Chains A and B, each alone.
Chain A
Amino acid sequence: MTTSASAPSETRVRRALRSSALRALAALLFVLLIGVLFNADGAFFQWSTHRDMLRHISVFGILACGMTLVIITAGIDLAVGSVLGFTAVLFALLSLQLGWSPWVVVPAVLGAGTACGLASGTLVARFRLQPFIATLAMMVFARGLAKWISGGRKISSAFQAPDGAFQYREVPGLFRAINSKLFGGNIAVVTLIFVVCVLAAWIILARLRTGRHIMAVGGNEEAARLSGVPVGRTKLIAYGFSGLLCAVAGICQAAQEQQGDPEAGATYELTAIAIVVIGGTNLMGGRGGIGLTLIGAMTIGYLEKILSINAVGEATRLMLTGLIIVGAVLFQRVRK
């Protein structure tokens, strides 16, 4: 850490940059500036562009909220994409194929997702598996579950009538409700669900004792343990919450696709991690916050949206995204 005195104005800038939130915001503003410059003939200035960006990023953002808690405990959850796939299939199966009431289906699916998270958490907290290994195993296992309960097929409302013809049942109202837009078509319901998840994660992290435990465990597990923090339970809660949000995301995904795809969510874990990291939450644990993740989600969302409205090809888009992730993370480290 440098202690050398510098010009007052410079120190103010430096101090501002030392705040993770401001640095994350700076990265977001930078991306927005790119959007202003490459606005695709004004498309960037239309609300529908922003609405669609928010809608598109919501599922990833929901996953990133749970991921944030896990990463702050100095862990990682690689299983979020697979658990999303599993819960999306389960949701489609129970409501589209079996026609259960949403009042039963939603709690059941949320419970299933939470159970997956708790299983990962148990492996980490009780059996002391490295989070990477434990959740890698869960990632593979949950994908298998998704394929098993779906028979490897996409689960839609189609069914085969006795005469062999395919017919479609009416899609339940819940699917249409989640996939709709409110306020004159200006806000997608999934975006509102994302906002609720952000709020829930924020409450846990900033307002509940558990959140403080999460910060302490990630910052120094031994000091936390000796201070009476229930380390195992804290990790269990973080992974369990991540699993719960996977199920929320799985429901949203299934509703948007009007089906349960056993392949849904593949590689989503990587986007979720990228969102958390670009926001500035430290992968070593102990530092970070949900506000950062919200900013990170917008940064990634806008980045992809700007590239797509400018009709940048997928190959270039992926390469640019990779570069920007590196740039953002290096930028976060400037203070050291």
Chain B
Amino acid sequence: MDELRMSRIGKSFGGGPVLKDVTWELRPGEVHVLAGENGAGKTTLIKILAGVYTQYEGTIEIDSRAVRFRSPQDAARLGISAIHQDTSLVLSMNVVDNIFLGRELPARGGGADFGAERRRARDILARLGLDVSLTEPLGSFPVSVRQMIEIAKALAFEAQVLVMDEPTSALNDMETARLFEIVDGLRAAGKTIVFISHRLEEIYRLADRITVLRDGRNVVTAAASDLPADRLVTAMVGREIGQHFPVRKAAPGRTLFEVRDLFVPDPSGVKAWAVEDAGFDLRAGEILGFAGLQGSGKSELFRGLFGALSSPVRGRVVLDGQAFVPRSPAASISRGLALLTNDRKVSGLVLGLSVARNVTLASLPAFSPRGWLREGREREAAAAGVRDFDIRVRSIDQEAGTLSGGNQQKLVFAKWLATGPNVLLLDEPTIGVDIGAKLEIYRMMNRWTSEGKGILLITSELPELLAMSDRILVMHRGRILTSLDRAEATQESVVRAALGKVGHA
């Protein structure tokens, strides 16, 4: 294969275009970084490349011959392999079986030739410089090794183009360095590597060329040397902040929530801190925004403060002037804390329960004195919640799962506001809701702060973060790296800090 070219690629989901007229080409022996914000269309583009999405506009050509993949296997046959995190591995099977899964080397008389597989596997692993037992189940290896096995699998399939979608997000520094060496080796061997990363230092360590997607369009493709970091960041975020944010007038009052020397354990059970040495103050009427990449510890910080993790946090917290130890969600709720998680279907709503019962789920003690439910009172409160939050329902007895995304999100808000919180921890409060619902959520946030509540806000949408936050704390690898005032925070300064670069360039 000499050159792979994707021309005028377009793709829509449910009427909304995700990719528009994207053209780019991949050359042998290059590392091509695909950059862009969340939602820019990177993942969609590589899923088309890897044969996952088969419905799209435009053409793919290999060596000037048009091809159309009907499946990932189809793409693999033509030498394109996407390396996902774990997704195509069977953790209970051993290394060799995983490498050859679905393409077992045939033995005479049927079955698989285990001897040949073993020799090939050993060969490929040696090329990758990986020394692991071939017979151990994959689940007993760390994520970094599994990722290497994914690469080995791609090589066993004779892949020419390897797509790596944020491969370092689960790796530590040493493992990352090891991965980079392997990528260098693959490049030297003439392979093409498509590399997706949000981390500037990685991008410039590896990239020969960079393509930036923004809002589904290819904004620029250039040699890495021609695209310095500041221009790259501008290209990524270059969109203007829309006017759809309500004006925010902040009048911070007394200190509501004080966090000092906070350490939050890693929820995955690894002996590590997901958040280290965090400290901040939240004042009444203030929205404190949290920025940072995936895995920077923002969500863990919220969960830890809410007492939602199985192991306790360490540190000092003062809530409303009194010491507070995050122990359990129930205890946190009774102290006036509310945690809106970033996935309403997984951890926000009980989809099979009615709207009414979801509204009161977190404030049930108020509707059940001595354990007996007062359904009359409960239904009144639920109806009021539905009205206040303008949730479109046929009936409050409708199952929550039948509502649209925006209405489900408003239902989660109704649930938490029914608990009478003072401090709201909002993790991606507008995720997956349309503009109209977003606007309502922004207005509500402004109303609550004017009532003296405090809000901690996580959002991966930078314009939203900048428009709604009175101050922004930027986290990087579990630490609060810097604090930006509303006046000094710009998309560039936030992104730069989130990528681990403090100060001005």
Specify which chain B residues have a CB less than 8 angstroms from the CB of A1 in the assembled complex.
402
Chain A 215-232 near chain B by CB (<8 Å), digits 1 or 0:
110011011111111100
Given the known inter-chain contacts A208-B372, A209-B372, A212-B364, please indicate yes or no for A226 contacting B308, CB distance below 8 A. Answer: yes
Specify which chain B residues have a CB less than 8 angstroms from the CB of A208 in the assembled complex.
368, 371-373
The answer to whether A223 and B372 touch across the interface, beta carbons within 8 angstroms, is no
Specify which chain A residues have a CB less than 8 angstroms from the CB of B349 in the assembled complex.
220, 223
Expressed in whole angstroms, the Cα–Cα distance for A208 and B368 within the complex equals 7
- Chain B binding surface, main DSSP class: helix
Given the known inter-chain contacts A209-B372, A212-B364, A229-B361, please indicate yes or no for A219 contacting B308, CB distance below 8 A. Answer: no
Expressed in whole angstroms, the Cα–Cα distance for A229 and B341 within the complex equals 16
Specify which chain A residues have a CB less than 8 angstroms from the CB of B372 in the assembled complex.
207-209
B227 in the interface, Cβ–Cβ < 8 Å? no
Chain A 263-291 near chain B by CB (<8 Å), digits 1 or 0:
00000000000000000000000110000
Expressed in whole angstroms, the Cα–Cα distance for A206 and B373 within the complex equals 8
B346 in the interface, Cβ–Cβ < 8 Å? yes
The answer to whether A223 and B350 touch across the interface, beta carbons within 8 angstroms, is yes
B396 in the interface, Cβ–Cβ < 8 Å? no
A284 to chain B, nearest CB (A): 9
B438 in the interface, Cβ–Cβ < 8 Å? no
Specify which chain A residues have a CB less than 8 angstroms from the CB of B368 in the assembled complex.
208-209, 212
Given the known inter-chain contacts A209-B368, A223-B348, A224-B361, please indicate yes or no for A216 contacting B333, CB distance below 8 A. Answer: no
A87 in the interface, Cβ–Cβ < 8 Å? no
B329 in the interface, Cβ–Cβ < 8 Å? yes
Expressed in whole angstroms, the Cα–Cα distance for A93 and B32 within the complex equals 79
The answer to whether B351 and A220 touch across the interface, beta carbons within 8 angstroms, is yes
A204 to chain B, nearest CB (A): 10
B339 in the interface, Cβ–Cβ < 8 Å? yes
The answer to whether A212 and B329 touch across the interface, beta carbons within 8 angstroms, is no
B362 and chain A: residue at smallest CB distance = A227
The answer to whether A219 and B350 touch across the interface, beta carbons within 8 angstroms, is yes
Specify which chain A residues have a CB less than 8 angstroms from the CB of B364 in the assembled complex.
209, 212-213, 228-229
A299 in the interface, Cβ–Cβ < 8 Å? no
The answer to whether A227 and B371 touch across the interface, beta carbons within 8 angstroms, is no
Specify which chain B residues have a CB less than 8 angstroms from the CB of A219 in the assembled complex.
350-353
Expressed in whole angstroms, the Cα–Cα distance for A236 and B128 within the complex equals 51
| B interface, size bucket | 20 to 34
The residue among A210, A216, A225, A228 with the most chain B CB atoms within 10 A of its own CB is: A228
B330 in the interface, Cβ–Cβ < 8 Å? yes
Chain B 342-366 near chain A by CB (<8 Å), digits 1 or 0:
0000111111110001000110110
The answer to whether A227 and B415 touch across the interface, beta carbons within 8 angstroms, is yes
Specify which chain A residues have a CB less than 8 angstroms from the CB of B341 in the assembled complex.
226
Chain B positions 356-391 with a Cβ under 8 Å from a chain A Cβ: 357, 361-362, 364-365, 368, 371-373
The answer to whether B371 and A216 touch across the interface, beta carbons within 8 angstroms, is no
A-B pairs under 8 A by CB, number: 79
Chain B 322-347 near chain A by CB (<8 Å), digits 1 or 0:
00000011101110000101000011
Specify which chain B residues have a CB less than 8 angstroms from the CB of A228 in the assembled complex.
328-330, 332-334, 362, 364
Expressed in whole angstroms, the Cα–Cα distance for A207 and B374 within the complex equals 8
The answer to whether A226 and B339 touch across the interface, beta carbons within 8 angstroms, is yes
A295 to chain B, nearest CB (A): 20
B311 to chain A, nearest CB (A): 15
Expressed in whole angstroms, the Cα–Cα distance for A211 and B372 within the complex equals 10
The answer to whether B350 and A224 touch across the interface, beta carbons within 8 angstroms, is yes
A290 to chain B, nearest CB (A): 15
Chain A positions 246-270 with a Cβ under 8 Å from a chain B Cβ: none
Chain A positions 1-31 with a Cβ under 8 Å from a chain B Cβ: 1
Specify which chain A residues have a CB less than 8 angstroms from the CB of B415 in the assembled complex.
227
B357 and chain A: residue at smallest CB distance = A212
Expressed in whole angstroms, the Cα–Cα distance for A230 and B350 within the complex equals 15
A228 to chain B, nearest CB (A): 4
Specify which chain B residues have a CB less than 8 angstroms from the CB of A287 in the assembled complex.
352
The residue among B308, B353, B415 with the most chain A CB atoms within 10 A of its own CB is: B353
The answer to whether B357 and A225 touch across the interface, beta carbons within 8 angstroms, is no
B93 to chain A, nearest CB (A): 22
Q: Which of B330, B347, B365 contacts A223 (CB 8 A)?
A: B347
The answer to whether B371 and A209 touch across the interface, beta carbons within 8 angstroms, is yes
B349 and chain A: residue at smallest CB distance = A223
B213 to chain A, nearest CB (A): 33
Chain B positions 281-336 with a Cβ under 8 Å from a chain A Cβ: 306, 308, 328-330, 332-334
Q: Which of A206, A213, A216, A226 contacts B329 (CB 8 A)?
A: A226
Expressed in whole angstroms, the Cα–Cα distance for A222 and B402 within the complex equals 19
The answer to whether A212 and B373 touch across the interface, beta carbons within 8 angstroms, is yes
B346 and chain A: residue at smallest CB distance = A222
Specify which chain A residues have a CB less than 8 angstroms from the CB of B351 in the assembled complex.
219-220
Specify which chain A residues have a CB less than 8 angstroms from the CB of B365 in the assembled complex.
209
Chain A positions 135-156 with a Cβ under 8 Å from a chain B Cβ: none
Specify which chain A residues have a CB less than 8 angstroms from the CB of B348 in the assembled complex.
223, 226
A260 to chain B, nearest CB (A): 35
Specify which chain B residues have a CB less than 8 angstroms from the CB of A213 in the assembled complex.
364
Specify which chain B residues have a CB less than 8 angstroms from the CB of A212 in the assembled complex.
357, 361, 364, 368, 373
Expressed in whole angstroms, the Cα–Cα distance for A230 and B402 within the complex equals 26
The residue among B347, B348, B372 with the most chain A CB atoms within 10 A of its own CB is: B347
Specify which chain A residues have a CB less than 8 angstroms from the CB of B308 in the assembled complex.
225-226
Expressed in whole angstroms, the Cα–Cα distance for A213 and B357 within the complex equals 10
The answer to whether A216 and B350 touch across the interface, beta carbons within 8 angstroms, is yes
A215 and chain B: residue at smallest CB distance = B353
The answer to whether B339 and A216 touch across the interface, beta carbons within 8 angstroms, is no
The answer to whether B353 and A286 touch across the interface, beta carbons within 8 angstroms, is yes
Specify which chain A residues have a CB less than 8 angstroms from the CB of B346 in the assembled complex.
220, 222-223
Specify which chain B residues have a CB less than 8 angstroms from the CB of A230 in the assembled complex.
330
Expressed in whole angstroms, the Cα–Cα distance for A92 and B398 within the complex equals 50
Q: List 13 A-B contacts (CB under 8 A).
A: A207-B373, A208-B368, A212-B357, A212-B364, A216-B357, A219-B352, A220-B349, A220-B350, A222-B346, A224-B361, A225-B329, A228-B330, A228-B364
* New A-B pairs, 13, CB < 8 Å, besides A206-B373, A220-B349: A208-B372, A209-B364, A210-B371, A213-B364, A222-B346, A223-B350, A225-B308, A226-B306, A226-B308, A226-B339, A227-B415, A286-B350, A287-B352
Chain B residues with CB under 8 Å of chain A are 306, 308, 328-330, 332-334, 339, 341, 346-353, 357, 361-362, 364-365, 368, 371-373, 402, 415
Give 6 closest A-B pairs by Cβ, nearest first.
A228-B330, A209-B368, A219-B350, A227-B362, A220-B350, A219-B352
